Structure 1
Amino acid sequence: MTTLKKIPAAEFEIMKVIWKNTPPITTSMLMEQLGKEKKWRAQTLISLLSRLVEREFLSTEKNGKERTYFPLVSKEEYLKYETSNFMERFHENSFLSLVNTLYEGKKLSNKELEKLSEWIKKRGE
């Protein structure tokens, strides 16, 4: 597999749907799950899928008139990649910096802080 690269938001939306489904997934299935929400035309979806194939996030096969797609990158792999980049770029790889930013921005509730504290205690054992 090639080195992962950041994908644009629209392509990430497609990947989220693909990851939620059992492979393979067809263009029709994607259109049904994304089309109403995004109001994309079929050609738009096909273009975005082609880019994901070029970037080696998906493989594709033609079955009759329908194309099927298979993920080559798991959700976990991509989230790990994105999170790592985010931590490095914005927080100099400091988990404390990230948590402090979330806390100061009122993004963490007391309950979440308690869960985080429990998580840290378990990791320290």
Structure 2
Amino acid sequence: MKLSPGEEELMNYLWSLKKAFMKDLLDAYPEPKPAATTVSTLLKRMQEKQFVGYLTKGNSREYFTLVTKENYFSKHIKGLIKNFFDDSPAQFASFFASKTEFSKEELESLKSIIEDKLEKK
């Protein structure tokens, strides 16, 4: 299951905060801040999708993530590769390397990461 862009934005705030009450989440947004009802609706949808949970503390809910950022984006990237690059990591890498504006140093850094991963396999 995938998050909408608005849900992803809220999830990023929650990942960085670890746990948060509604006030904390609203404070995390830049101006103009969304209405509390908007954030509440997003949280409800995210709970239904099993991305977010909460604990009741007094009259408030303390929200937390049920999915790590790494797991979410790993599945997201795998889905992109499957749906847009014929399930070929090589096609994805070719597109990534040729269509992005990375400097030579950034590409060398990526190459080094891949080489390290290969050595460990």
Please give the range of the TM-score, normalised by the shorter of the 2 chains.
0.7 to 0.9
Does residue 99 (structure 1) correspond to residue 93 (structure 2)? The answer is: yes
Corresponding residue for residue 29 of structure 1 = 24
Give runs of aligned pairs for residues 60-75 of structure 1, distance below 5 A.
60-75=54-69
Q: CA deviation at 1:95?
A: 2.7
2:11 maps to which residue? Answer: 15
Q: Alpha carbon RMSD of aligned pairs, Å?
A: 1.6
Q: Against the structure 1 CA distance between its residues 102 and 108, is the aligned structure 2 distance closer, same or farther, given a 3 Å change threshold? A: farther
DSSP-derived class of the 1:68 partner: strand
On the 8 A contact 1:60/1:69 being kept in 2, the answer is: yes
Change in CA separation of 1:87 and 1:66 when aligned onto 2, cut-off 3 Å: same
- Which runs of structure 1 show a deviation greater than 3 angstroms over 4 or more consecutive aligned residues? none
Moved more, 89-98 or 73-82: 89-98
Alpha-carbon distance, 1:38 to partner? 5.2
Kept in 1, the 8 Å contact 2:18–2:64? The answer is no
Q: TM-score, normalised by structure 1?
A: 0.84
Aligned-partner Cα distance in 1 for 2:112–2:4: 35
Structure 1: gaps (5+ residues): none
- Structure 1 residue 101 displacement after superposition: 1.5
Q: Distance in 2 between matches of 1:113 and 1:95?
A: 17
Uncovered stretches (5+) of structure 2, i.e. residues with no partner: none
1:120 CA displacement: 2.7
Match in the other structure for 1:39? 33
Shift of the alpha carbon at 1:85? 0.3
Could you tell me the TM-score, scaled by structure 2's length? 0.87
Q: Deviations over 1:40-82 (max 9, x none)?
A: 1011111111111111111123222221112111111101110
| Greater Cα offset, 65-74 or 111-120 | 111-120
